[in-house]
């Protein structure tokens, strides 16, 4: 069995964070919870998730904590391949667009459908990765076939030039 997908959650509201963690763990993901963006960034030096669920408003508990958008920018600078799902109580198109401008994969508004939406988005990310992997395999196979055909034509041309292949028969 393959290793479970690593999904990390940065949420300053302990109850909300534990609920997200419990839900995603029940779906088979390996989940770690961080209460600040700063603690996540420190852990990022040695432990990198595939997906990060990041609260937008991270200074509700600790007023000096970095906001989610700043953490998003730093994550994308350090590890651009981590897919970030912004998770917020703000139902604002402007905020959602702003986070996507800085590299978030998607934006989820906290509420009754949030857990289902997180699952759906994680599934979308996995399908995207599979599609990219398949495209890469296709390109490699295509390049191999082109090289094989070029080699065959080259051998025929050499055979004709050296007289070992007679095309007039």
**What ranges in the chain are assigned the alpha helix state H?**
14-26, 37-44, 68-78, 93-101, 114-162
Q: Which pLDDT score, from 0 to 100, does residue 103 have?
A: 95
Cα 62–Cα 64–Cα 69 angle in degrees, nearest 5: 95
Structural domains of the chain, with CATH: 6-132 (3.40.50.2300)
Q: What pLDDT digit, counting tens, does each position of 11-45 carry?
A: 999 999 999 999 999 999 999 999 999 999 999 98
Contact 58, 10 (CB under 8 A): yes
Q: 33 in the Ramachandran plot: left (φ > 0), alpha (ψ -120 to 50) or beta?
A: beta
Cα–Cα distance measured from residue 51 to residue 58, given in angstroms and rounded to the nearest whole number: 18
What pTM, to 2 d.p., does this model score? 0.76
- Report which of 131, 129, 123 is spatially closest to residue 24, judged by C-alpha positions: 123
Q: Which pLDDT score, from 0 to 100, does residue 135 have?
A: 76
| Statement: residue 8 has pLDDT above 80 | yes
HEC secondary structure over 75-91: HHHHCCCCEEEEEECCC
| Statement: residue 1 has pLDDT above 60 | no
| Statement: residue 84 has pLDDT above 60 | yes
């Amino acid at each position: 069995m393959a290793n479970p997908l690593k999904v990390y959650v940065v949420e300053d509201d302990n109850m909300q964070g534990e609920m997200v963690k419990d839900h995603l763990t029940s779906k088979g993901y390996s989940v770690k919870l961080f209460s600040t963006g700063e603690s996540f960034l420190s852990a990022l030096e040695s432990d990198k998730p595939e997906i990060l669920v990041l609260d937008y408003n991270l200074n509700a508990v600790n007023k000096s904590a970095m906001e989610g958008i700043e953490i998003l920018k730093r994550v994308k600078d350090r590890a651009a391949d981590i897919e970030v799902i912004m998770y917020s109580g703000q139902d604002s198109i402007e905020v959602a667009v702003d986070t996507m401008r800085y590299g978030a994969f998607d934006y989820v508004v906290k509420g009754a459908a949030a857990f289902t939406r997180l699952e759906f988005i994680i599934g979308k990310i996995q399908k995207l990765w599979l599609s990219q992997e398949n495209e890469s395999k296709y390109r490699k196979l295509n390049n191999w076939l082109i090289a094989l055909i070029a080699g065959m034509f080259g051998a025929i041309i050499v055979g004709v030039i050296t007289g070992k292949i007679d095309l007039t028969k």
